[in-house]
Amino acid sequence: MSENTEADNLGEARIEAAYGSGDGDEDISATVASAPQGQILEQVYRPWDGPLGPRWVRNYAIYRHHVYGIISGSGHRRYHPFVRLTLLVVILGSMTPILMLLLSSMISGDASGFLNRMWGVNRYNLWGNVLGYFPRNLCMWPLLTALVVGGLVSDDRRNGTSALYFSRPVSRLDYAFMKWLSAASVLAAVILLTYMLYYSAAVVFKGEGWSFIADTIPIFMGGLVAGLLLVITYTSIGIALSSISTSRFTASVSFLGLVLGSKIVAWLVELQFETTYVYLLSPYDCLAHLGQWLVGLPLNYDHSLTLSIVSLLAMNAAALSIFASRVSSLEVTRE
């Protein structure tokens, strides 16, 4: 580095760098690179002595960043317009039974009775609104989960934004819980909210009385518990896959492959060997087995319900343990 003789007291300088030429640097020559002149400013870092926000405010900031990003991208997580459009299609598709109930209440005759049998409140329809394989658990809920949890943690691993979280007084437990709660809230808002709207619309449109509500509320509550278990299980598995990847695409495709692939493989094994025990490896079928019992439907599986419950608990425990392990390894600083 050569010395600049024209620098004044303000600290104006010219950057000069010398490089060797040739493979063996036999002939040394200097190359000077000049940068725009400017003033060197002194930077002093001082610790923050003011009051910190309460714990719930810091946690709510994480929650708001992910959930509000679906509606508004200003200052929140950016969701691609295609993702937002897909989420809108899923929501509208989930509300299709409400439209059919409205249509059946506006017409009379055999057509109204047919629509009421197809879309009205009964055990099979309440179960189908949260755990029906087609189209909900084949097209809607896995796709919804994959879009929401795809980059939830993998983006932090790839971009090093976990250092921003942990540079504030945010514990890893709070970080993990708010990430999980953010994804679960979006799923619950679509799955459980549309389920409750469906039941409420059936009561209002048909003008049902208290006796109808008293007869159907136990079935409704069973379906609600089944939907809640679905939200918990899909969120846990999805966020675990997101935490072990640095690509949101890989995490999303892995979740779809796990949920749909395990279902299809177990179905093929059942056709070939006439056994349902392989369904214990399928998250959907374990949920479906338990959901059938909750709403009082005949069980479609030969194995015991206890095995499905144990398998479901093991899936959630394994997914959450993987997620906790990966969060503990997130970087705190980045140079």
Q: Are residues 35 and 171 in the same domain?
A: no
Contact 136, 129 (CB under 8 A): yes
Residue whose entry in the numeric block shows the structure tokens 């892995």:
254
Q: Are 202 and 104 in contact (CB under 8 A)?
A: no
More confident residue, 18 or 40: 40
Q: Binning pLDDT at 50, 70 and 90, where does residue 36 land?
A: low
Between 118 and 287, residue with greater pLDDT:
287
Q: Which residues pair with 27 in a beta bridge?
A: 21
Residue 44: inside a domain: no
- The Cβ of residue 258 has, within 10 Å, a number of other Cβ atoms equal to 18
In-domain check, residue 217:
yes
Residue found by looking up tokens 């144990």 in the block: 310
308 inside domain: yes
Average pLDDT over the chain reads: 85
Say if residue 124 is in the same domain as residue 198.
yes
Considering the domain architecture, whether residues 21 and 89 belong to the same structural domain is answered as: no
Would you say residue 11 has pLDDT above 50?
no
Query: What is the rounded average pLDDT of the residues 216-244?
Result: 96
Q: Say which DSSP state 68 is in.
A: G
The boundaries of the domain holding residue 32 are: 1-39
pLDDT for position 47: 66
Quickly count: other Cβ atoms within 10 Å of residue 172's Cβ: 16
Q: Are residues 99 and 234 in the same domain?
A: yes
Q: Do 158 and 25 share a structural domain?
A: no
231-278: per-residue pLDDT in tens?
A: 999 999 999 999 998 888 999 999 999 999 999 999 999 999 999 999
Give the highest mean pLDDT range of 22-26, 88-92, 317-321: 317-321
- In terms of domains, do 225 and 276 share one? yes
87 in a domain, yes or no?
Answer: yes
Residue scoring higher pLDDT (41 or 128): 128
Number of compact structural domains in the chain: 2
CA dist., res. 310 & res. 188, Å (int): 23
Output the pLDDT for position 324: 94
pLDDT more than 90, % of the chain? 59
Question: Is 83 within a domain?
Answer: yes
Instruction: Look at residue 180 in the predicted model and tell me its pLDDT.
Output: 97
Q: What is the pLDDT of residue 14?
A: 44
The reported pLDDT for the residue numbered 39 is 64
- Residues 233, 203: one domain? yes
- What's residue 3's pLDDT? 46
Whether 20 has a pLDDT exceeding 80, the answer reads: no
Tell me: the pLDDT tens digits for 96-140?
999 999 998 888 888 888 888 888 999 999 999 999 998 999 989
Is 48 within the bounds of a domain? no
Same-domain check for residues 149 and 283: yes
Answer yes or no: is 334 within a domain.
no
Residue 91 lies in a domain: yes
Residue that wins the pLDDT comparison between 246 and 163: 246
In this prediction the pTM is 0.83
Burial class (CB in 10 A: 0-12, 13-18, 19+), 230: buried
**pLDDT tens across 71-84, in order?**
877 778 888 889 89
**Cβ(128)–Cβ(292) below 8 Å:** no
Instruction: Label residue 134 left, alpha or beta by phi (over 0 means left) and psi (-120 to 50 means alpha).
Output: beta
